[in-house]
Chains A and B, each alone.
Chain A
């Protein structure tokens, strides 16, 4: 089959690789009908996530038709499914309390070693996201083997266009959980750093959850435009002083909750970020945490901090003082996708949430490398790329 493979930094290619097979009893094989490039795939493209090997098949946002099932799968051939990017067993301590992205049993034991050493505990399995999270071949491919197919995949009723539900795989629940982690109360201002797909879904979610005001921060005019269209007010950090603007836009109080939808590759020319960028380039395991530092400084006393942005390593010059002295609460984590699947599917089918507005480009899978190049290099116009095999 054809699949997008990672070969090295800024080098991805569509190649022919062996078709997947059923390996475990609960597996299913899905023939992909639509898949997307995620902002977090760009961290792989930039080679800042450890544990990638040349030839790895990327992609963790995908959907398709079930073409084969293992004896213990509950899916049926022909089912249309969206597959969550988190692989979860449904039975362990974590899955039983709906912390699906912390599943103990989905990352093969050999590949648990790295995260156990680095993070103190083993991470769960994810599709197409390095060998630290299992080395599972991803969804930017014609076919995908889906483990624990009785737990993850969301069955989609017939007649629903792929693009409408595809993002249930990651970015929609990720934006939703980001807003949930902000613990929004009436009257709240929520400030969101990053108007990429997750940030934009966080804008929608925060407004649906009753935020009085959502302020979206970025430097790409087109992305800020999309946020404004959803009902957010915006700050362009190239034009305005963010901290001062946030104070002035919140009656001098500061935002009640902040969301970092940027993650480990912050943009901008602040001194701390330049230093981080140098260290990240030198392979010192340093994350560029500029946006998070700013968010911690901006949030009001006693405020809430939600971090859906992906981090992988270490950060220094971290405003611990602000965190403690202002009495902040932090909530973060990979998304517990399966926890939100049914509720969000309903909201999408009822048109409560617009999912297709952010798609800027549609390409055949064969052109996936072009998609990566532009999503990486022209972020203003390339807001979301959907690929079809």
Chain B
């Protein structure tokens, strides 16, 4: 006859093992053992925010890159998904995007503006999306240009489901952000943006 206690014992063992793993992960988070950016952590808990970012090295002076992020007309040149950026008095920036078909208007305030170094925007109270975006510029080593780090923390609309739907539908904001940084790099390094499109503006 099989011992009836065996499955129960296995169950208890599994639960305690899982608990042990969770405690372990928790402990690791409290005592960070590495210098990697927080957004690259395997276990991510940013209080309901999604935090993403990307760094590219652009062979251009910091001042050029700063200007491209600071001036609405220049932002429009490489932010393909943004249909309009408007700068209003008191550092209010209005961003109009078309995300998976529906129009999205986000009002932000420029909360940090250190020329050639740092720009940060935070959504204003009651904005359509809760977010904070930041662009940091650093000199790359050995004359390689400027390291441009753009990161964003936002509360996904329609929560985690909306986030997955966006990823699957190709409107993933992380992917779009990555592509926009690369467009800026192309624009500043080559004066144009690579395309295999058959028709252009000339």
Contact = CB atoms under 8 A, between A and B. Distances in A.
Contacts of A89: 186, 189-190, 194
A45 interface: no
Given A70-B202, A93-B59, A109-B179, A23 B191 contact: no
Contacts of A87: 194
Contact of B185 (A71, A72, A105): A105
A71 B202 contact: yes
Nearest to A112: B182
B19 interface: no
Contact of A108 (B178, B194, B202): B194
Given A21-B200, A71-B202, A93 B192 contact: no
A234 B200 CA distance: 52
B33 interface: no
B9 interface: no
A100 interface: no
Interface in A72-112: 72, 87, 89-93, 96, 104-112
A147 interface: yes
A109 B197 CA distance: 12
Nearest to B202: A22
A333 interface: no
Nearest to A19: B198
A104 B196 CA distance: 15
Interface in A92-135: 92-93, 96, 104-113, 125, 134-135
A106 B194 contact: yes
B195 A96 contact: no
Contacts of A109: 178-180, 182-183, 186, 193-194
A23 B196 CA distance: 9
A300 B145 CA distance: 42
A23 B189 contact: no
Contacts, number: 89
Contact of A104 (B185, B191, B193, B200): B185
B200 A92 contact: no
A24 B195 contact: yes
A148 interface: yes
A51 interface: no
A43 interface: no
A25 interface: yes
A26 interface: yes
B179 A110 contact: yes
A135 B202 contact: no
A90 B182 CA distance: 16
A20 interface: yes
B163 interface: no
Contacts of A104: 185, 189
B144 A93 contact: yes
A112 B194 CA distance: 11
B189 A91 contact: yes
Contacts of B201: 23
Nearest to B60: A91
Contacts of B200: 21-24, 27
A325 to B, nearest CB: 33
Contacts of B182: 109, 112
A372 interface: no
A26 B192 contact: yes
B30 interface: no
B198 A111 contact: no
B194 A113 contact: no
Contacts of B179: 109-110, 112-113
B57 interface: yes
B192 A137 contact: no
B191 A72 contact: yes
A23 B197 contact: yes
Given A93-B144, A109-B179, A113-B175, A135 B189 contact: no
5 contacts: A70-B202, A92-B59, A92-B190, A109-B183, A125-B196
Given A27-B200, A93-B57, A110-B179, 8 more contacts: A21-B198, A23-B195, A92-B185, A93-B145, A96-B59, A105-B185, A105-B189, A107-B194
Q: Which 4 A-B pairs have the closest CB atoms?
A: A23-B200, A109-B179, A24-B192, A109-B182
